[in-house]
Structure 1
Amino acid sequence: MVPHLPVTRSPARPLSAAPALASRFRRATAAFLLGTTILSGAAAVVPSAAAAAPVTVPAVSQELPGSFADLVDRVMPAVVNVSTVQGGNAAPEQRGMPGMPEFPPGSPFEEFFRQFQEQQRGARPRAERQQAQGSGFIIDAAGYVVTNNHVIDGADEISVTLHDGSRLDAKLVGRDPKTDLALLKVDAGKPLAYLEFGDSDTARVGDWVIAIGNPFGLGGTVTSGIVSARGRDIQAGPYDDFLQLDASINRGNSGGPTFDVHGRVIGINTAIFSPNGGSVGIGFAIPSNLAKGVIAQLRENGTVSRGWLGVQIQQVTPEIADSLGLGQPKGALVADVTANSPAAKAKLAAGDVILALDGRPVDTIKDLTRMVADSKTGSTVKLDVLRRGKRETVSVTLDAMPDQPQVAAATQSPDRPGAAQTDSVLGLTLSSIDASGRRRFGLSEGVEGVLVVGLEDAADGVNLRPGDVITEVGNERVAAPAQIAAKVQEAREAGRGAVLLRVNRQGTEQFVAIPIKKA
């Protein structure tokens, strides 16, 4: 089943929408249809003051399929329905009724009032078993079935219904909540029709796609459309890289395949955006190239092991790029390095900007997250890093991602005496850290730097607030407001439009670029 946004990726429970995605759709309050001319083998002339070569638009009619029937006939036998049953304790509304007293277990009145309440509700059983349905597809003649993790999450029983109507019990081989994928196994006593993964990286916006699944429990249903967008991040998890489709995807389509026109699986349907629970032509599918490695590990080990670098990273904004002398706001800025991590052992440091991994460009922090996760534990990767204005190559041997990141708790110690120094820089009221400042803002003894104690009008829009501690400016440690003023003046004289600060906010390190023009 496909959850609609806002609904959960669980077959039975509603949930809230991804805020970032929902806000973008709320802002889209009107749509405009632009006039276009359809050319068939003709040429469109681009007006220009200088003589410009004509832009030829090739005819596309020969690429449009007359029918998907032959393709559907080939792939339909390998698409299945997935049904689950989930038991549990009595539903909350069965435990009591408004205005009715609660009695301790074993009380003489407990059974009497239980029977009375059941009569008022129509004598429903004390524990209801919830059923849910989704979709899946077979990837091996031996009976391995791919579906979404949220389709089978919490299920006590899982069954698969094949195209011929036969119903088989399914065993959970493994699941990966971070990518919302799961692998099942059925025993049909015979080889089963199966599908192969295609190359989702070759899917282009505008390409035809076909989705098959079990919407609303209706059974094998085929819909078609195009790839509407690539690389969508819907805030569903750390590895969001969805294909957006306009093929009709509804509840129950979750886990079903999306095909290209050659019948290869290029996506696994997993979510929709919908204000009412029905399809509005905005569906999301996990790309096959992301799913391949996950499914292979689930089949072999039952779990997924991901590479781990051990850094906290943040996106390079235009202001940060300006402060660092980068031409484009690309890369992943290292905000902090985890102690004893692969990054620490390779001498990566806060302020480094990771621009590429094994020659593959890192344009966003999502790129780096996926690349590291896709790398094998124990493998050595080469990072192209911008460090203090110079490019370097750093080799890092990745470790296994820990299940629970370990965070060391800061311990409080007695305040140190000393008079604080204050100054105003870039519209920020700054102070050196003294005993009073530590008490006022709850700073631990281990935090050192320059304390932000106030913001002036000139600092309007700056991503800082009282209680933040500036620990570095331009990759150099600072302990007094005068040092920050001097670094700002250096950046101004160098022609920089912004200055880069490293900030400790309630124990979390991050970088903030402040435009110098706001001084």
Structure 2
Amino acid sequence: MKRYSALLFIAFFSGATTLVGYKLFFESHRNGNSIVTMAPQYNARNVALGAENIDFTAAADQAVHTVVHVKNVSVRTVYDPIREFFYGARGGIQQEQIGTGSGVIISQDGYIVTNNHVIKDANQLEVTLNNKKVYKAKLIGTDSKMDIALLKIDADEKLPYATFADSDQVRVGEWVLAVGNPYNLTSTVTAGIVSAKARNLDTNGIQSFIQTDAAVNPGNSGGALVNTRGELIGINTMISSPTGSYAGYSFAVPSNITRKIIEDIMEFGNVQRGVLGAVGNELNGVRAKELGIKQTEGYYITNVIENSGAAKAGIKKGDVIVKLDNQKITTYPELTGYLNTKRPNDRINVTVIRDGQTKVIPVTLVKNDVINTEFRGLELENLSAADKKRYNIESGVRIKNVTNERLLPYKEELVGSIILSIDNTNAADVEAVSKMLGNKDDREGASVRLLTKNGQILRFII
């Protein structure tokens, strides 16, 4: 009898321990703020479910109140040659232009994130909340490369705001909602799935979009892409369409990149970008065969930029990057997308395959303006934000030194000038130029578009 009583006690104790452990561990994670721990459980419940079986109402109700309408008022001068000829009127006519878009409230005291192209060249910015209240907005800062801008309104109340999810945890096939406030109609909601991650549209250096098939139309730019919990996973930025209207695909800047840009603008006044300094190409079956290597996925290094973190850490030409920290790297947008969440002096672990062996190399990222590269006897360096503002340009690289014998007679004029493009491709920065050159035969000529120190635009062939 004693034996059965002991067995019964052990069984009861084990069951109670399991129940308490479940409550303490799983319930604490479910009630916490960690998106990473919630995502697998949440996604598992939605497997094989159609849209009609998922309740979007709670997420939509949460998101619509955080999305605003943004009105951009700009003034341009229009010249009328006929009026000038007949009436002798000199000077142009001032015309007011109005552009519209959407934005997302990200703090209860009125900070709003939107697209840079929504507010570009604005003389006046106006924000309309979902409850129809209207406020003047102040521009805090922008990042034209990632098409993000930060605004601020002084509201007379605490505002509803979006909470950021971890966009690295977003999964292809996950249901999402696109929320915008176009044409002052109050917020509108469309549903779709994540079609792809780390999309590279090769547009002015912007990389690593979240692609979705949720309908996004003009006026929704700057709106929110949210998961089915109403958490922000991206800022809707553009659509892919031959007509200018939605035709199946839309793209959003991931929330992790957006958050980092906003934090940089608020803390430093500009965006701090940590540079790896390893330039190369994506691998695939064809390229791997040409290179004589086994790896068909990863980022193959063709050049390591002088003074960069990669160079100092010992990364070499021929290495294949397969992971940054715990993020698997198979494409260039995946690499740049992860690096865009980092700052100078951040330390990351770069996993490479070298001569068939896997190595983990710690790398300290450097500032964008301390690296340089060489192009046909021209030593190039990145521009600072002040340089871009001074010359009223968004991209370019400065000629730091000239070693090309044929160009030495023009060294005084060339040093300090800015290369705007090479072979009609924007010279966004030193890394972009190095990547271009990695795909170019040294024997080929290169057409260079140059901005001289006195403001002239020149074209020549090296």
TM-score, normalised with respect to structure 2: 0.66
SS in 1 for 2:64: helix
Cα distance in structure 2, aligned partners of 1:380 and 1:148 = 29
Equivalent residue number for residue 88 of structure 2:
113
Equivalent residue number for residue 158 of structure 1:
125
Counterpart amino acid of residue 112 in structure 1: Y
Compared with structure 1, are the counterparts of its residues 58 and 271 closer, same or farther at alpha carbon in structure 2 (3 Å cutoff)?
Answer: closer
Compared with structure 1, are the counterparts of its residues 280 and 506 closer, same or farther at alpha carbon in structure 2 (3 Å cutoff)?
Answer: same
Equivalent residue number for residue 514 of structure 1:
none
Equivalent residue number for residue 81 of structure 2:
96
**1:77 is the counterpart of 2:44:** no
SS in 2 for 1:72: helix
Contact 1:335-1:351 within 8 A present in 2 as well = yes
Equivalent residue number for residue 479 of structure 1:
none
Cα distance in structure 1, aligned partners of 2:312 and 2:277 = 10
User: How many equivalent residue pairs?
Assistant: 345
Give the structure, 1 or 2, with the largest relative contact order (CA under 8 Å, sep 6 or more): 1
Contact 1:239-1:366 within 8 A present in 2 as well = no
Compared with structure 1, are the counterparts of its residues 394 and 85 closer, same or farther at alpha carbon in structure 2 (3 Å cutoff)?
Answer: same
- 1:298-337 equivalence runs, <5 A: 298-322=265-289, 324=291, 326-337=293-304
Compared with structure 1, are the counterparts of its residues 75 and 298 closer, same or farther at alpha carbon in structure 2 (3 Å cutoff)?
Answer: same
- 1:180-191 equivalence runs, <5 A: 180-191=147-158
Equivalent residue number for residue 504 of structure 1:
442
Counterpart amino acid of residue 370 in structure 1: G
Cα distance in structure 2, aligned partners of 1:391 and 1:59 = 38
Contact 2:257-2:340 within 8 A present in 1 as well = no
SS in 2 for 1:87: strand
Contact 2:73-2:122 within 8 A present in 1 as well = yes
Contact 1:80-1:162 within 8 A present in 2 as well = yes
Equivalent residue number for residue 34 of structure 2:
none
Cα distance in structure 1, aligned partners of 2:244 and 2:342 = 37
The answer to which of 393-402 and 382-391 deviates more is: 382-391
Cα distance in structure 2, aligned partners of 1:188 and 1:216 = 21
Q: Which has the larger radius of gyration?
A: 1
Cα distance in structure 2, aligned partners of 1:385 and 1:269 = 33
Compared with structure 1, are the counterparts of its residues 357 and 82 closer, same or farther at alpha carbon in structure 2 (3 Å cutoff)?
Answer: same
Identity across the alignment (%): 37
Contact 1:79-1:135 within 8 A present in 2 as well = yes
SS in 1 for 2:88: helix
In the TM superposition, residue 254 of structure 1 has moved relative to its aligned partner by 0.3
Compared with structure 1, are the counterparts of its residues 502 and 154 closer, same or farther at alpha carbon in structure 2 (3 Å cutoff)?
Answer: closer
Cα distance in structure 2, aligned partners of 1:382 and 1:406 = 31
SS in 1 for 2:168: helix
In the TM superposition, residue 310 of structure 1 has moved relative to its aligned partner by 2.4
In the TM superposition, residue 204 of structure 1 has moved relative to its aligned partner by 3.3
Cα distance in structure 2, aligned partners of 1:63 and 1:202 = 24
In the TM superposition, residue 179 of structure 1 has moved relative to its aligned partner by 1.3
In the TM superposition, residue 59 of structure 1 has moved relative to its aligned partner by 6.3
Compared with structure 1, are the counterparts of its residues 204 and 95 closer, same or farther at alpha carbon in structure 2 (3 Å cutoff)?
Answer: same
- 1:170-249 equivalence runs, <5 A: 170-249=137-216
SS in 2 for 1:234: coil
Per-residue displacement from partner, 1:55-80 (whole Å, max 9, x unpaired)?
Answer: xx9763697235x4444333322211
Cα distance in structure 1, aligned partners of 2:444 and 2:307 = 22
- 1:407-422 equivalence runs, <5 A: 407=399, 408-412=401-405
TM-score, normalised with respect to structure 1: 0.59
Per-residue displacement from partner, 1:5-48 (whole Å, max 9, x unpaired)?
Answer: xxxxxxxxxxxxxxxxxxxxxxxxxxxxxxxxxxxxxxxxxxxx
Compared with structure 1, are the counterparts of its residues 300 and 210 closer, same or farther at alpha carbon in structure 2 (3 Å cutoff)?
Answer: same
Cα distance in structure 2, aligned partners of 1:315 and 1:304 = 26
Equivalent residue number for residue 60 of structure 1:
49
In the TM superposition, residue 216 of structure 1 has moved relative to its aligned partner by 4.1
Per-residue displacement from partner, 1:432-489 (whole Å, max 9, x unpaired)?
Answer: xxxxxxxxxxxxxxxxxxxxxxxxxxxxxxxxxxxxxxxxxxxxxxxxxxxxxxxxxx
Per-residue displacement from partner, 1:239-261 (whole Å, max 9, x unpaired)?
Answer: 52222222221110000112222
Counterpart amino acid of residue 192 in structure 1: L
Cα distance in structure 2, aligned partners of 1:375 and 1:200 = 15
In the TM superposition, residue 139 of structure 1 has moved relative to its aligned partner by 0.9
Compared with structure 1, are the counterparts of its residues 261 and 384 closer, same or farther at alpha carbon in structure 2 (3 Å cutoff)?
Answer: closer
Compared with structure 1, are the counterparts of its residues 385 and 221 closer, same or farther at alpha carbon in structure 2 (3 Å cutoff)?
Answer: closer
Equivalent residue number for residue 517 of structure 1:
none
Q: Which has the higher helix share?
A: 2
Counterpart amino acid of residue 228 in structure 1: S
Please provide the CA RMSD for this pair.
Answer: 3.2
Equivalent residue number for residue 41 of structure 2:
none
* 2:346 aligns with one of 367, 376, 379: 379
Cα distance in structure 2, aligned partners of 1:111 and 1:62 = 64
Equivalent residue number for residue 265 of structure 1:
232
Cα distance in structure 2, aligned partners of 1:175 and 1:270 = 14
Cα distance in structure 1, aligned partners of 2:61 and 2:340 = 37
* 2:109 aligns with one of 115, 120, 142: 142
**1:340 is the counterpart of 2:307:** yes
Equivalent residue number for residue 356 of structure 1:
323
In the TM superposition, residue 271 of structure 1 has moved relative to its aligned partner by 0.6
SS in 2 for 1:129: strand
Compared with structure 1, are the counterparts of its residues 372 and 59 closer, same or farther at alpha carbon in structure 2 (3 Å cutoff)?
Answer: closer
Compared with structure 1, are the counterparts of its residues 249 and 322 closer, same or farther at alpha carbon in structure 2 (3 Å cutoff)?
Answer: same
Cα distance in structure 2, aligned partners of 1:201 and 1:267 = 11
In the TM superposition, residue 147 of structure 1 has moved relative to its aligned partner by 0.6
Compared with structure 1, are the counterparts of its residues 246 and 199 closer, same or farther at alpha carbon in structure 2 (3 Å cutoff)?
Answer: same
Cα distance in structure 2, aligned partners of 1:371 and 1:65 = 31
Counterpart amino acid of residue 65 in structure 1: I
